């Protein structure tokens, strides 16, 4: 039973704020709470119709797509199935970089500029319109309510983007207080900081936590070591996102906080792609997001097979994301294998592997950019591909695919470089492999899987 304060925020304050921002969030969320139960065919028809509308609009208003469709003879009005998408080329970060202006619709409303770092080290600048913001917020709101909590319930947000933390102006602070959201900087994870985070969580008694799995796992471990209980606070759910969630992290967090972990998958660029329900399925935001899984040659793979996740976001008329390559690897469950115990008909993503992350945490708690580790391997001769997996704060595994020219002392140099940044006591295992899974882009395929913290 939500308390009065939560009902006030969720039913009045937040809707008002969204309306002032010209977002249609409330209506969108209500519609999505209906369509999540629809028969599969009805949901599919909605998606085809939305895809046709997006591409038809793009042909009329987005220079990049106007030219592309003319060049390849694509008629968006004839789109009659989601597989028609396969006639279109992929969109990736270099393409967005090269055509940023031509990707803006000439009738775009309220475009906001975004900038992501990413493990390639090259920033990506893109734009998001009002429609898309509303839809992404609505999808997140819907998923929040799956867990019996709502906007306005006391919440701890553990986040680390310095850009967003910099935007902590007074309006934002006031809003956060009203919404009962407390933001803690996941950036600083020294022992003293973590002690103070634990005190704050205990004092606020939040109903929900939101942040990086590695950061909550770090806090959970620390609390256990100090003998501090966190499972007596009434926390109902721990929302994690933005990194790969490892099983051992899930177990640790659930034990320590006495609440289930709910995994979310998405990003500023690709949108709110999928979220876990209490029955355990990672449900795709099917009303807005079409997920394709493709192999290294770009061929679409059938359900059940693992490949790169490619998304088309249907609410992106102002700056279309059509067949956008995420660089993440995942598997879609075949619809007939997917009926979820929760009853929602939204398609299911089986797993997301090897999400590259921006930040790495060293043994002593120092947080650094993933590039600090990438450089060590990438700049070495004879390296054709690599993958860095930080399995725990004490163990990092480096998989390298080598070619002629790899130095005789290459392994030792990689180990030394990693230890210099992660900590001398950290065990670094270098493994030579024949292949690295297709992730990342450009000349090198690599990923940094961060865990720990």
Residues lying near Zn ion in the complex (CB under 5 A) are found at: 277, 279, 281, 340, 342, 344
Shortest approach of Zn ion to residue 147 CB, angstroms?
Answer: 12
CB 131 within 8 A of CB 107: no
Shorter beta-carbon distance to Zn ion: residue 147 or 359: 147
Give the count of beta carbons closer than 10 Å to the beta carbon of residue 263. 20
For 39, the 3-state DSSP assignment is coil
Shorter beta-carbon distance to Zn ion: residue 289 or 373: 289
Element (H, E) at 237: strand 237-241
How many whole angstroms separate alpha carbon 254 and alpha carbon 263? Answer: 12
Shorter beta-carbon distance to Zn ion: residue 201 or 277: 277
> Residue 357 is encoded by which pair of tokens?
């992350």
| Residue ranges in 227-311 assigned as alpha helix (H) | 247-257
118: left (phi over 0), alpha (psi -120 to 50) or beta: left
Shortest approach of Zn ion to residue 36 CB, angstroms?
Answer: 9
Give the count of beta carbons closer than 10 Å to the beta carbon of residue 39. 9
For 279, the 3-state DSSP assignment is coil
Shortest approach of Zn ion to residue 283 CB, angstroms?
Answer: 6
Shortest approach of Zn ion to residue 310 CB, angstroms?
Answer: 23
Shorter beta-carbon distance to Zn ion: residue 236 or 283: 283
Shorter beta-carbon distance to Zn ion: residue 51 or 346: 346
Listed in order, strand segments (DSSP E) in 129-171 are 155-159
Shorter beta-carbon distance to Zn ion: residue 340 or 380: 340
How many whole angstroms separate alpha carbon 219 and alpha carbon 185? Answer: 13
CB 284 within 8 A of CB 278: no
Shortest approach of Zn ion to residue 178 CB, angstroms?
Answer: 31
Shortest approach of Zn ion to residue 281 CB, angstroms?
Answer: 4
Listed in order, strand segments (DSSP E) in 314-434 are 321-332, 348-353, 359-361, 367-369, 383-392, 395-402, 427-432
Shorter beta-carbon distance to Zn ion: residue 194 or 277: 277
Shorter beta-carbon distance to Zn ion: residue 294 or 346: 346
Shorter beta-carbon distance to Zn ion: residue 55 or 277: 277
Rounded to 5 degrees, φ, ψ at 220 are: -60, -45
User: Which residues are bridge partners to 116 per DSSP?
Assistant: 124
Which letter does DSSP use for residue 13 in this model? I
Angle at 274 between CA 272 and CA 276, to 5 degrees: 130
Shorter beta-carbon distance to Zn ion: residue 25 or 36: 36
Shortest approach of Zn ion to residue 351 CB, angstroms?
Answer: 15
Shortest approach of Zn ion to residue 282 CB, angstroms?
Answer: 9
Shorter beta-carbon distance to Zn ion: residue 151 or 340: 340
349-to-201, 242, 331, 342 alpha-carbon distances in Å = 32, 16, 6, 15
Shortest approach of Zn ion to residue 342 CB, angstroms?
Answer: 3
Shortest approach of Zn ion to residue 340 CB, angstroms?
Answer: 3
Buried b (16+ CB within 10 A) or exposed e, 328-361: bbbbbbeeeebebebebbbbbbbebbbbbbbbbb
| Residue given tokens 């010209």 in the structure block | 22
Shortest approach of Zn ion to residue 144 CB, angstroms?
Answer: 15
């Amino acid at each position: 039973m939500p308390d009065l304060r939560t009902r006030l925020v969720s039913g009045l304050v937040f809707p008002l704020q969204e309306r002032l921002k010209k977002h249609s969030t409330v209506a969108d969320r209500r519609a999505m709470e209906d369509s999540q139960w629809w028969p599969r065919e009805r949901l599919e028809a909605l998606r085809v119709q939305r895809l046709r509308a997006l591409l038809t609009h793009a042909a009329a208003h987005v220079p990049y797509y106007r030219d592309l469709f003319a060049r390849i003879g694509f008629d968006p009005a004839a789109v009659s199935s989601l597989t028609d998408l396969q006639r279109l080329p992929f969109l990736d970060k270099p393409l967005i970089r090269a055509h940023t202006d031509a990707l803006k619709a000439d009738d775009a409303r309220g475009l906001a500029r975004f900038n992501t770092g990413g493990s390639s080290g090259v920033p990506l600048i893109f734009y998001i319109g009002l429609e898309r913001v509303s839809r992404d917020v609505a999808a997140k709101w819907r998923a929040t309510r799956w867990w019996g909590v709502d906007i306005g319930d006391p919440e701890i947000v553990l986040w680390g983007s310095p850009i967003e933390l910099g935007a902590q102006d007074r309006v934002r602070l006031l809003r956060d207080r009203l919404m009962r959201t407390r933001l803690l900087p996941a950036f600083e994870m020294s022992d003293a900081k973590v002690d103070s985070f634990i005190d704050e969580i205990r004092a606020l008694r939040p109903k929900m936590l939101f942040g990086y799995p590695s950061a909550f796992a770090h806090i959970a471990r620390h609390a256990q070591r100090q003998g501090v209980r966190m499972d007596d606070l009434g926390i109902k759910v721990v929302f994690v996102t933005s990194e790969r969630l490892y099983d051992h992290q899930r177990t640790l967090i659930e034990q320590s906080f006495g609440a289930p972990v709910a995994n979310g998958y998405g990003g500023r660029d690709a949108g709110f792609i999928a979220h876990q329900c209490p029955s355990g399925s990672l449900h795709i935001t099917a009303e807005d997001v079409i997920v394709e899984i493709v192999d290294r040659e770009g061929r679409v793979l059938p359900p059940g097979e693992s490949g790169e996740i490619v998304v088309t976001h249907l609410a992106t008329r102002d700056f279309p994301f059509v067949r956008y390559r995420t660089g993440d690897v995942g598997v879609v469950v075949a619809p007939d294998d997917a009926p979820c115990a929760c009853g929602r008909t939204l398609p299911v993503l089986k797993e997301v592997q090897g999400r590259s992350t921006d930040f790495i945490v060293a043994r002593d708690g120092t947080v650094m950019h993933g590039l600090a580790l990438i450089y060590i391997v990438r700049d070495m001769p004879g390296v054709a591909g690599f993958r860095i997996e930080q399995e725990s704060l004490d163990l990092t595994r480096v998989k390298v695919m080598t070619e002629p020219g790899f130095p005789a002392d290459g392994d030792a140099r990689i180990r030394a470089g990693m230890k210099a940044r992660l900590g001398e006591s950290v065990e670094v295992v270098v493994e030579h492999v024949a292949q690295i899974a297709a992730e990342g882009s450009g000349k090198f395929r690599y990923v940094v899987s961060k865990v720990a913290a």
